[in-house]
Amino acid sequence: MPELPEVETTMSALQPFVEKKIVSVDINNRHLRWKIEKDFEKNISNKKIISITRRAKYIIFNLSDGFIILHLGMSGNIRIQDLNSNTYKKHDHIIFYLKDKKIIYNDIRRFGSIHFTNNAKDHFLIKNLGPEPLSKDFNKKYLFNISRNSKTNIKNFIMNQKVVVGVGNIYASEALFDARINPNNITNSINEEDCKRLVKSIKNILKIAINMGGTTLKDFYSVDGSEGYFKIKLKVYGRENEKCKSCRGVIKKIVLNQRSTFYCLDCQK
């Protein structure tokens, strides 16, 4: 289940397919977050993959003509199998056939999406995204300025992909704990020092997760289909009523904007 680090890991694992040709595609279920366009198969068949990159939580295939924009949603994952293998799973929605491999998109809840476009940069899913969290554009000054007019809580704010991309529900709690900021705090009340720590914490948490192979909780399937995964050491997420690793206070669970949120009552002011 993907947040930015899982998407990054998946994207990296697809790199061997750069320079390869997509021979054909089979679609078992067109009803993802948006219905897959009629011409999708035609648009991508017999195209060479020039590069595979990531923007926010999207994987972008730059083809010899056009782009594929893929989002894994809440439950999407990709696996790679030999062309002659016959093992399919429930919810295998899309199968890309290459010369000797197939790339399979599986997504239980179908919150993921896939589009073909001639212009990825201006695509409606891409054009309004905020800065990459690990880029220089995401810094203290930027966060301070953009936060001045927002009255939502700070946790909801950093999960807004227009503010900064890639921060999901887990990393939002973890980053706020690391920065010692209470997730309930109203965004325009945080000061410059808070912004400085928060930017640093978001970058650090994401970097660590990426370096660990991009996994967080529960099972994350590698592209080879194996279930091997690392578990990042989460300090607050999922630790309701357990001891804070920093001050030995108790971790609280609350619901903010309909999402589970965990924080330490004592550390996070």
DSSP string covering 48-114, please? Answer: EEEEEEEETTEEEEEESSSEEEEE-TTTEEEEEEETT-----TTEEEEEE-SSEEEEEEESS---EE
Note whether 213 binds DNA by CB under 7 A.
no
Tokens standing for 40? 């999708």
Which member of 85, 118, 257, 265 binds DNA (CB under 7 A)? Answer: 257
CA atoms within 13 A on the CB side of 136: 0
Least distance between DNA and beta carbon 18 (Å) = 24
Which member of 21, 110, 140, 203 binds DNA (CB under 7 A)? Answer: 110
List, in order, residues 6 or more apart from 38 with CB less than 8 Å away: none
Residue (47 or 71) nearer to DNA, CB: 71
229 — phi, psi (to 5°)? -155, 155
Which member of 38, 90, 136, 233 binds DNA (CB under 7 A)? Answer: 90
Note whether 117 binds DNA by CB under 7 A.
no
Note whether 81 binds DNA by CB under 7 A.
no
Note whether 101 binds DNA by CB under 7 A.
no
d(CA 131, CA 149): 18
How big is the site for DNA, counted in residues (CB under 7 A)? Answer: 40
Note whether 185 binds DNA by CB under 7 A.
no
Least distance between DNA and beta carbon 17 (Å) = 23
Beta bridge mates, 252: 263
Which member of 9, 106, 215, 268 binds DNA (CB under 7 A)? Answer: 215
d(CA 138, CA 192): 14
Note whether 241 binds DNA by CB under 7 A.
no
249, 265 in Cβ contact below 8 A? yes
What is the separation, in whole angstroms, between the first and last Cα of the chain? 30
CB-based burial label for 219 (10 Å; 0-12, 13-18, 19+): exposed
- From 78-86, 150-158, 174-182, 198-206, span contacting DNA (CB under 7 A): 150-158
Residue (47 or 112) nearer to DNA, CB: 112
Which member of 12, 45, 152, 182 binds DNA (CB under 7 A)? Answer: 152
Which member of 55, 71, 235, 252 binds DNA (CB under 7 A)? Answer: 71
**Residues of the shown chain interacting with DNA in the complex, contacts defined by CB under 7 A:** 1-3, 6, 31, 33, 56-57, 71, 73-74, 90-91, 108-111, 125, 149-153, 156, 159, 161, 168-170, 187, 215-220, 257-260
